[in-house]
Amino acid sequence: MIALADVNYFEPWWAQIIKALVIFGVLFAILPMLTIYERKLLGRFQGRYGPNRVGPFGLMQPLAEIVKFATKEPFRPTTSIGFLFRLAPMLAILTSVSALALIPWGNVQHIFGTRFGLYGIDVSVGPLYVFAMSGISFYGIMLGGWASGSKYSFLGAMRGAAQLISYEVAQGLALVGVIISAQTLSLTGIINAQQGMWYIVPQMAGFLIFMVASFAETNRAPFDLVEADAELVAGYFTEYGGTGFVAYLFSEYVNMMVVSGIATAMFLGGWHLPGNPSFPGWIDPIIVFAKMMIFMTLFIWIRATLPRLRYDQLMSFGWKVLLPLATLNLLITAIVVVV
């Protein structure tokens, strides 16, 4: 049997399970806080407070909403296809969480005499795995939109499909520059190659292309045509309520975290700080999370600023501007590395 990828396991099996549980548990505790962070920050950008009624400073708002969503009656349109209608949100959240496993939170640590890598898994195909997962997560959108049996959902899903093919290419090509420079596909390897200089400096163009493509990838404003609420009610999840809706909502936020994590690892040097000051190892996840929060804030800031693009503008921007730029960036990087 041919191994498709090398997974650098050196932990015992129980350490793998503990890592998976900790990453899953901590991130799903952070996720509701991210929703409230987005809404409060969005409020500030619009000259208002945002939710501030439930609990101190409105911090209990996500909790109240989860209770509300979880207790809602599950329903589906008569035109929908029941099996796929239920499967699609699960697919969306499953693929997002799978991609989350790749985000490196810290270097290898020695805890209780065992070596722990502070990340889910370290695969020799890191970014490819993430792209594969985000590609599959669009099946969640497309299946959900199609299986809903509603025109708005279908239109949203079609837009999602078109958006995916026009942006994933540019996003991938933007990262290839980094991969060529680091000469490895392992995310920890890429981070360790950034001790001297973060790749955001030599790969500035790649970073900008990656960020723009990420906005489209995560269906965030100004590229949220998939759920364009002015035209399509809510796009692909128009017919979803209750837990199905929450699954889609959370998968969007998890996607944001994945994209922020990848950007942090590939361009912002992961757990490295300028000048490489020596901190105890447990600081690493905090540094990574702080860097991810910079990207999160940027996502929200852009959402508060830019209006939604028209559909043809989006497509022509992806194919005519981003893809040639990414290719050019790749070519120049390749020439510089070889010469």
Q: Which residues of the shown chain bind another protein in the complex (CB under 8 A)?
A: 43-49, 52, 301-302, 304-306, 321
User: Residue holding tokens 């959902």?
Assistant: 153
Query: Could you tell me which of 180, 171, 169, 175 has the C-alpha nearest to residue 333?
Result: 180
The C-alpha atoms of residue 113 and residue 134 are separated, in whole angstroms, by 36
Query: Which of 53/115 has CB closer to another protein?
Result: 53
In whole angstroms, the minimum distance from the beta carbon of 40 to another protein comes to 10
Task: State in angstroms the smallest separation of the CB of 45 from another protein.
Answer: 5
* Residue with smaller CB distance to another protein, 46 or 114: 46
Distance CA 158, CA 163 (A): 9
Secondary structure (H, E, C), 39-85: HHHHHHHCCCCCCCCCCHHHCCHHHHHHHHHHCCCCCCCCCCCHHHH
Shortest Å distance, C-beta 305 to another protein: 4
| Shortest reach from residue 335's CB to another protein, in Å | 21
Nearer to another protein, 50 or 270 (CB): 50
Q: How far is the CB of 317 from another protein (least distance, A)?
A: 9
Closer by beta carbon to another protein, 36 or else 130: 36
Q: Nearer to another protein by C-beta: 48 or 68?
A: 48
E runs forming strands in 63-140: 104-111, 114-119
Element (H, E) at 326: helix 323-338
